[in-house]
Amino acid sequence: MAKRTTIGVDAYIAKCPKEAQAGLVKIRAAIRAAAPGATERTDYFQMPGYSYPGFDYDGMFAWFSFKKPHIRGHVRPPVIQEHRKELAGCPTTKAIVSFPMGETMPVTLVKKLVKGSIKKMKDKSK
């Protein structure tokens, strides 16, 4: 199992507003559950991200961030487009889904998006 470096991620969460921290902890846990063994880091895009070595974009496949008033999940394109029905009601871009702060985090959906992002990364490397 890859060593997890969590000091930077803990500091990132701690710097966010108190009302956002519970949502950030939940999205972090969902990503970690969907990607066992992934390296947790903050050196790529200066936000918490997850990688497996040996793939393009330094193996990065998922990130999370806070931008008021949303907890945001970042995944590889076209994962968001492939799940647009499930994401109806959430603001999205090509690679970001925004979950309203203070609402229940859809953990199962986050895990599905992360697994989809990993699959896109691995499929691209074939």
CATH at 71 = 3.90.1150.200
Whether residue 36 has a cis bond before it, omega within 30° of 0: no
- Cα Rg, the chain, nearest whole Å: 14
pLDDT digit string, tens, across residues 10-37: 999 999 999 999 999 999 999 999 999 9
pLDDT digit string, tens, across residues 35-55: 999 999 988 788 899 999 888
- 69 belongs to a structural domain: yes
Tally of domains within the chain: 1
Widest distance between CA atoms in the chain: 43
- 1 belongs to a structural domain: no
Share of the chain above pLDDT 90, in %: 79
